[in-house]
Chain A
Amino acid sequence: MSTGGATLNVRGLGKSFRGLRAVHDVGFDVPAGAIHALIGPNGAGKTTTFNMIAGVFPPSAGTVQLDGRTITGLRPDRVCDAGIGRTFQIVKPFPGLSVLDNVLIGALKREPDVSRARDRALTVLRELGLHDKRAMTASNLTLPDRKRLEVARALATQPRLLLLDEVMAGLRPTETDQMVAFLRELNARTGLTILLIEHVMRAVMALSQHIVVLNYGEKIAEGSPEAIARDQRVLDVYLGQDAH
């Protein structure tokens, strides 16, 4: 079942909206099987970067490669084909469908047979602790459960790179710890590459081996969690942010 992890290479990525520069010359690598984090203050361009990787809109400049294959500007479903699963910062469940059907739709990506895809979806639901809630309509889930559902649906597509956009936001500390433990175990077991955007620093520090910091659309620092925690530019950004 495990398909392992893929390498992500981002080079010179840039995006302007109506002349407004949202992201400029952002580049980083995520080696296969690694967990990296993308952090920065609000409006730093993290989600825009994610959206360009995931194909929501094409970048104005730069390239994205997955395992050496250029996927720049592909449609989101093609990016998913290529092996990238993603979650949305503002969760987007299929609200009128059951939890199981939500995940089943993801599973159908690599398993065209519906009943086998259903089995696969049930397995993922079990892993994320949503199995008991499989018959619930997604719109009736609590926010933490919706976040889990978001991860479950992305995982069901059997990605080799998982993009997680603030899946810990709004979770209680114990729930955050559960999610961290799950992701770490998943990464260790399958070798899945993970890139996460996260504000919950506890989770970032606990999970990621490497951190990329964005501010005003540009990369201002990258390095190990320890190095980032000591980096003066990063501290300025965050302290400056706090001072407002």
Chain B
Amino acid sequence: MRLWHRLTGDMTTRGQVALAMFAALLLAAPAFIGSYPLSILILVVYFAYIGQAWNVMMGFAGQLSLGHALYLGLGGYTAAALAFHFGVSPWIGMIAGVLVAMLAGGIVGFLGFRFSLAGVYFALLTIAFAEFTRILFDHFKWVGGSAGLFLKVSGDPGLWHLRGGPVMFYYVILAMAALALVACRLMLTSRLGYHWLAIREDPEAAQASGVDVFRGKMIAVLISSGMAAVGGVWAAFYYKNLFPETAFAMGRSIEVILAPIIGGLGTLIGPFIGAAVLVSLGDVFTIAAEKIGEIFGVKTAGLKQIFYGLALLAIVAFRRDGVWPWLARKLGFVHSDPYLPPPAGKGR
């Protein structure tokens, strides 16, 4: 009962029912949608997952990372290289990838936090490390350098080697996203979670209230980079190729942060909503740009992205706190007074 309350927290019964129905829909989706919608859905869940990873660092602990491609790339490259060279299962490789990414995150965090970099300066440090690594990997021949690393398409299929069709990849990323959601909820309602919120809101006051700010930030960056690395491994095996130009790109770091910010920074459902909004907008805009090109007989390279930029602008200008907090209130999914103590006498 108590665990259930921790998991559902401020959700109304209506919200809980909606969430359960939503989960059931996601679980059943592959059975009744075609391969194209499934590929879209896969992207949504993937962006929700990596967004959740970033959310831990920025949404919970308030540390702006604009270099999360570093952790995705390191995770993906580590597992892919181990599979490519030694035929190691991605699940084993994932452990290695997570460790490598956490090491990188630990270094970035340790240096940034020890030297008291905050805000823009810390963000630039994260960019610098990602870019630095990107250029190094361009020259890292063991993983193919700038020519890229390609995973074998043939071989034993199956979950153990993460080789299979979209349905398998869908369920893998869905399980990861669901696990991340539950884990984040549990962390957020723990002492650690409250320490993160304190650090995010005011580090000086947090410290005066006895919060070890450095430790809290370090744990956040370690968990966030480790989670991101798992997403990176999944992406590496889903796409079956890796290039430093894309794996560590600034653009990838930006992809990571869009969903949680648009959905609602620091919220748990926000990354899902944000990812759904982004991916579906992208899809609609692709079609719109194609149609415009057909009708007017012009080249429309870039038009889709312009629509995208305009949509982003609109969201940033009119839904500054993200879509989910507003939507959740509108639909009556959360209590208006979310801070009521848990029902007395139960589970104590």
Residue positions of A touching B, CB distance < 8 A: 54, 56, 75-77, 80-81, 85-86, 88, 92-98, 100-101, 104-106, 108-109, 112, 114-115, 117-119, 122, 134-135, 153-154, 156-157
Contact = CB atoms under 8 A, between A and B. Distances in A.
A124 to B, nearest CB: 13
B206 interface: yes
Given A77-B213, A94-B198, A105-B194, A115 B208 contact: no
A26 to B, nearest CB: 21
Interface of B: 2, 189-191, 194-195, 197-198, 200-202, 204-213, 337-342, 348
Given A92-B202, A94-B197, A94-B205, A105 B211 contact: yes
Contact of A86 (B200, B206, B208, B213): B208
Contacts of A88: 204-205, 208
State the 3 A-B residue pairs at the shortest beta-carbon distance, nearest first: A94-B201, A80-B210, A109-B210
B194 A104 contact: yes
Given A118-B341, A122-B341, A135-B338, A105 B198 contact: yes
Contact of B211 (A77, A98, A119): A77
Nearest to B197: A97
B209 A105 contact: yes
Contacts of B339: 98, 100-101, 134-135
A100 B209 CA distance: 14
A93 B208 CA distance: 11
10 contacts: A80-B210, A92-B202, A92-B208, A93-B205, A96-B201, A100-B341, A105-B197, A114-B194, A122-B341, A154-B209
Contact of A106 (B209, B337, B340): B209
B205 to A, nearest CB: 4
Contacts of B212: 75, 77
Given A56-B204, A97-B201, 16 more contacts: A75-B207, A77-B207, A81-B210, A85-B208, A92-B208, A93-B205, A94-B198, A94-B201, A94-B205, A105-B194, A106-B210, A108-B194, A112-B191, A114-B191, A118-B341, A154-B208
B193 to A, nearest CB: 9
